[in-house]
């Protein structure tokens, strides 16, 4: 489906979000950013990690939401962004107090390392470390 196939209201909303992200301050801390995923709704974290590892990069056609803190300590997959420059700090617009940093659609990240982390009950959780491609 092409972007032009969406209803006008949806296109306007996405365009407004793109413009807002461009105007927000950019994340500049040296601390990493985190994105948590869960296996709910049929998401297969291991397949995702293998695909991303084989490609050597990660990109999302949607906005990419991250947090300065680990959003879900019980996640089934975690992406850690070690270095970035274009993430928009939501700041006072973040009503969830999540400390959200959002990346524009199609932002590209290079895979630095993939590994697993042992959690409670011997649960093995894949971790993908990335840096934003400049």
CATH number at residue 58: 3.90.176.10
Q: pTM of the predicted model, to two decimals?
A: 0.86
Reported as a single tens digit per residue, the pLDDT across 96-116 is: 777 899 999 999 999 999 999
What domain range includes position 7?
3-132
Please state, in angstroms and rounded to a whole number, the distance separating the CA atoms of residues 87 and 77: 21
- Total domains, the chain: 1
Query: Which tens digits make up the pLDDT trace of 12-65?
Result: 888 888 888 899 999 988 899 999 998 877 888 889 999 999 999 999 998 999
**Six-digit token string for 113:** 């390392």
**Cα–Cα dist 81/30, whole Å:** 10
């Amino acid at each position: 489906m092409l972007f032009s196939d969406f209803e006008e209201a949806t296109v306007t909303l996405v365009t407004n979000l793109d413009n807002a992200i461009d105007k927000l301050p950019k994340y500049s801390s040296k601390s990493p950013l985190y994105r948590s995923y869960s296996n709910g709704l049929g998401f297969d974290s291991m397949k995702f990690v293998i695909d991303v590892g084989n490609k050597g990069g990660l990109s999302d056609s949607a906005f990419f939401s991250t947090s300065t803190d680990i959003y879900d300590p019980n996640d089934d997959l975690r992406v850690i962004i070690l270095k970035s420059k274009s993430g928009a700090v939501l700041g006072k617009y973040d009503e969830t107090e999540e400390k959200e940093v959002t990346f524009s659609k199609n932002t590209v990240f290079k895979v630095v390392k993939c590994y697993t982390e042992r959690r409670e009950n011997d649960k093995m959780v894949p971790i993908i470390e990335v840096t934003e491609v400049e």
